[in-house]
Structure 1
Amino acid sequence: MALQQITDIRHRLAETIKTVRQTNRAVLFSHVEAVATLKPLPIYQSSSNSYKGERFYWKNREGNLALCGLGMAAKLHPDGTGKNRFIQVREQWEALLQRVSVNACRQEMATGPLVFGGFSFMEEETEPGQLWEDFGDYQFYLPRFLLTENADGIYLTSTKLITDECDDYLIEQFLREREQLLSLSHQMQTDVPSFLHVDEKNVEEWKETIEQSVEDIRAGLMDKIVLARELDLYFENEVPSGTVLQNLAEQQSASFIFGLESGHSCFLGASPERLIKKEGKQIFSACLAGSTQRGQDDFSDEQLGQELLNDEKNRSEHEFVVSMMRKAMEEQCIELDIPMEPILMKLANIQHLYTPVRGTSLPNTSILEFVELLHPTPALGGAPRKIAMEKIGEYEQMERGFYSAPIGWMDMRGNGDFAVGIRSGLLKGNKAALFAGCGIVEGSQPESELTETKVKFTPMLNALGGLRI
């Protein structure tokens, strides 16, 4: 089987190179094959020496899809044209897909050419020398090697942009990399380095911004705002992202687990919230706003959940999100199904008010059109959106970067899945910057909101060795 695969890939590469030289036009070459033993997360963990800074990992909430990307076949990044960034990404992706050679017998979910990445919460926020300098306004990349584990099996997609400059050496190098990946041994670093100290940034100032925001709401300037804060942790040595992702996968199995490396940084987390998923014309989203802690036993947990369902402040916060979601989705959907009442989503450390959303999209609608429509939802920004975003920029004493922004993947068939980058942090050397936010409405109290952020820091603190701050 292995001999047949290398024969097939060599034959297809030779045909593609011939086409490129005849037409003088580049072709995106992609080869999909079933592999038996390579699992996405162990391969991510074992590949730091070869692909450090060019890796991603993704597992969906349902647990039926995991991805690992290694190396870069192509990168989508700001092009300086001044165009809307969602349009930039769509145009760059469509340009790459103009001439594609992929073995057509393989049509499994999330295989073939696929890009993974995300956007910053606010456009034009990042500057050189700042925490998020490795990421910018957006960043997506098409991996050279993609491992996909879905309900049907495990698949390796090998991808290379073939130009007329590709000589025999570059082709053989690409094939050698593939062989090395297929024989990669699993080597895991299971420990987080020793913890040194914490910098709990601007706590009193953050509570003052909540008081000011409540005054703004009472004055009628806005209905809701989401204010986030940062917690900086320092360790003896660099924190390995593979270890943190492994811990998140074990501890937060009902969440999206994601990690995106860029340069010397890795943005990673365990998000409970889907922004948008597209399978053909079918659209899936979620309204997630309003939260409380989990109980110590079944009785107290049930009691806390019922209190959340009946809490006026949390129900009001949730309704802002549902109302905005309905209005936004109606623009791009033929059919839309949004239940009238929320249910509870129970996670390891927290429970939320949750309303699932399903719809059927208009023809030829890109998933990025939905991302642009929905980001940021009132659960991450506020309402009305424009005023809330202005106040976030004024009040928050931190750079959000990719925190609470869309992160996910899309393939050549128009399918994709984006989560909201919450319950997350940025690893950079021996520093881990964690982020958590709260929805502020008229009834918000600074101390209770501070307590809520501590609950929301818990998934990342546990993944970093069970820290208690």
Structure 2
Amino acid sequence: MTTPNVSSPHVTHTVNQAPAPRLYATTTALPPTDGPTHLHNALRDADPRTTLAWIRDGNGLIAHGRATTITTHGHSRFTDANTWWQTITNNATIDNDIQAPGTGLIAFGSFAYSPHSPHGATLIVPEHITGTHNGISWHTTITTTPTTPTPPPPAPPITEPGPATYTPGTLTETTWTDRVTQAIDAITNGHLDKVVLARDEHITTPHPIDPRWLLTQLTNSYPHTWVFAIDGLIGATPEMLIRLHNNTATSRILAGTIRRTGNTTTDTNLASTLTHSPKDLHEHAYAVTSVTDVLQPHCHTLSVPETPFVLDLPNVMHLATDVTGHTNTNINVLELAEQLHPSAAVCGTPRTTADNLINTLEGMDRGRYAGPIGWIDSHGDGEFGIALRCGHLDATHTNMRIFAGCGIVDASDPTAELNESHAKLLPMKNAFTPPQDAHP
């Protein structure tokens, strides 16, 4: 097998942070409403320069402002962020009578896929958070002084970015399918069992992309995914890397995909095809094992269904497995995310061999695509998904780099994998362009 020699950029270990401040977090209940009214209002009123979001099925968090942040790079990016967060929480004063998930002091986090990426990692503690969980809503303010915070200035109206233009990314489609062929050869020759190859494209708009506008589009179209915005990375992921709450750990594992047609009868038949596909079941099993092997030592019970179910999304169907465990160790959600990343769902197996092949074949830095993204609270609980179906805004907010990845095994077909990547790019493309016009 002949492959291009593409190496990842070397990034030394760096940490950019001010001395960890003493923070004051106050959570107050909001009056009951029908539906996610408080979240809708909070998104409308958020500062578009600092908007943060984590929303699913009418529950979640909308935040803005910056109380404090940390950015870190290199192999110790998780450890650096976790150590900093422990210092923050140990010194904080927290007034929180609600105690629902997402209340009190929290930080939003986003981590690069690779330790070599210049995109590094960040934890952001916002100043203003509005949350809703199972009909309970609240507002949290976080400040560096014990005084009553100054209300934020009015946010500008939400604006649309205008017609989108789509351009190729790092590799042409022909080159990318050639790389898929090379990956299949490596698997067939026994070098590894599975590898996930990603590709990128670019979306350009005449006017700046308002994160609040894009979040609204994604929430309306993909309500059952985790819609997020953290540090310029915006998307709608269907995959939960790890959720931890009161010592219960859960993970939703996706691997094995088929594109929907929109015809109910046809899609029902396709779902049946997916559940009986040796190639997709094979690919899915690797992803499940990569997660359960990590969780097992930390759990006194671990529930793993024998067969996956079909997760039906507007654009694709996935084989999915929900794993649940009860932890027996004093470990927080960020530490679990570090151990789980990268799972076979976004890397491959064996992990090191697959990661090396990714560096060789993809020819690009994934940035924070396919890395852990989510939030952590002062108890160490929280949620981190895998940053999929997403894009990263550049400094001008008029260019977004979007991504899609496909799991490659010995039975993969390069053309089918390219078609799958098109389907996985559609959530971001359809947010900008009506579906009938968004196909490549």
TM normalised by structure 1 equals 0.83
Following the alignment from structure 1 to structure 2, what is the Cα–Cα distance between the partners of residues 111 and 348? 31
Q: CA deviation at 1:64?
A: 5.2
SS in structure 2 opposite 1:32? Answer: strand
CA offsets 1:403-461 (integer angstroms, 9 cap, x no match)? 11110001012210111110111122221211001001111111111000001111111
Q: CA deviation at 1:104?
A: 4.4
Native 8 Å contact 1:241 1:427 kept in 2: no
Native 8 Å contact 2:158 2:210 kept in 1: no
2:314 maps to what in 1? 348
Following the alignment from structure 1 to structure 2, what is the Cα–Cα distance between the partners of residues 158 and 458? 36
Which of 398, 403, 406 in structure 2 is aligned with 1:435?
403
SS in structure 2 opposite 1:198? Answer: strand
Query: Greater shift after overlay, 325-334 or 281-290?
Result: 325-334
Native 8 Å contact 2:167 2:203 kept in 1: yes
Q: State yes or no: 1:417 paired with 2:383.
A: yes
Q: CA deviation at 1:40?
A: 2.9
1:6 maps to what in 2? none
Are the structure 2 counterparts of residues 221 and 26 from structure 1 closer, same or farther at C-alpha, using a change threshold of 3 Å? closer
SS in structure 1 opposite 2:430? Answer: helix
Q: CA deviation at 1:45?
A: 3.7
Cα RMSD over matched residues?
A: 2.0
Native 8 Å contact 2:75 2:115 kept in 1: no
SS in structure 1 opposite 2:256? Answer: strand
2:164 maps to what in 1? 195
Q: CA deviation at 1:148?
A: 1.0
Which of 144, 155, 160 in structure 1 is aligned with 2:127?
144
The amino acid that maps onto 1:202 is T
1:20 maps to what in 2? none
The unaligned stretches of length 5 or more in structure 1 are: 1-24, 127-135
Q: State yes or no: 1:298 paired with 2:267.
A: no
Following the alignment from structure 1 to structure 2, what is the Cα–Cα distance between the partners of residues 338 and 345? 16
1:39 maps to what in 2? 38
Q: CA deviation at 1:100?
A: 2.1
SS in structure 1 opposite 2:150? Answer: helix
Q: State yes or no: 1:177 paired with 2:151.
A: yes
Q: CA deviation at 1:468?
A: 2.6
2:203 maps to what in 1? 233
Are the structure 2 counterparts of residues 409 and 225 from structure 1 closer, same or farther at C-alpha, using a change threshold of 3 Å? same
Q: CA deviation at 1:185?
A: 7.2
The amino acid that maps onto 1:250 is N
Are the structure 2 counterparts of residues 83 and 202 from structure 1 closer, same or farther at C-alpha, using a change threshold of 3 Å? closer
Structure 1 residue runs of 4 or more that deviate by more than 6 Å after TM superposition = none
SS in structure 2 opposite 1:205? Answer: helix
2:193 maps to what in 1? 223
Which of 247, 254, 274 in structure 2 is aligned with 1:288?
254
SS in structure 1 opposite 2:158? Answer: coil
1:386 maps to what in 2? 352
Q: State yes or no: 1:450 paired with 2:418.
A: yes
Native 8 Å contact 1:295 1:304 kept in 2: no
User: Per residue, is there more helix in 1 or in 2?
Assistant: 1
Following the alignment from structure 1 to structure 2, what is the Cα–Cα distance between the partners of residues 401 and 446? 24
Following the alignment from structure 1 to structure 2, what is the Cα–Cα distance between the partners of residues 419 and 140? 15
Are the structure 2 counterparts of residues 386 and 41 from structure 1 closer, same or farther at C-alpha, using a change threshold of 3 Å? farther
Following the alignment from structure 1 to structure 2, what is the Cα–Cα distance between the partners of residues 43 and 104? 20
TM normalised by structure 2 equals 0.88
Native 8 Å contact 1:76 1:93 kept in 2: no
Native 8 Å contact 1:42 1:186 kept in 2: no
1:69 maps to what in 2? 63
Following the alignment from structure 1 to structure 2, what is the Cα–Cα distance between the partners of residues 85 and 355? 29
Following the alignment from structure 1 to structure 2, what is the Cα–Cα distance between the partners of residues 460 and 104? 37
1:206 maps to what in 2? 176
1:57 maps to what in 2? 53
Following the alignment from structure 1 to structure 2, what is the Cα–Cα distance between the partners of residues 296 and 27? 53
Native 8 Å contact 1:197 1:233 kept in 2: yes
Greater Rg over alpha carbons, structure: 1
Which of 20, 27, 52 in structure 1 is aligned with 2:22?
27
Native 8 Å contact 2:195 2:409 kept in 1: yes
SS in structure 2 opposite 1:77? Answer: strand
Are the structure 2 counterparts of residues 122 and 268 from structure 1 closer, same or farther at C-alpha, using a change threshold of 3 Å? same
Q: 1:116-131 residue pairs with structure 2 within 5 A?
A: 116-126=108-118
Are the structure 2 counterparts of residues 104 and 408 from structure 1 closer, same or farther at C-alpha, using a change threshold of 3 Å? closer
Q: State yes or no: 1:468 paired with 2:439.
A: yes
Q: State yes or no: 1:399 paired with 2:365.
A: yes
Native 8 Å contact 2:28 2:96 kept in 1: no
Q: CA deviation at 1:372?
A: 1.5
The amino acid that maps onto 1:225 is V
Native 8 Å contact 2:27 2:96 kept in 1: no
Are the structure 2 counterparts of residues 305 and 33 from structure 1 closer, same or farther at C-alpha, using a change threshold of 3 Å? same
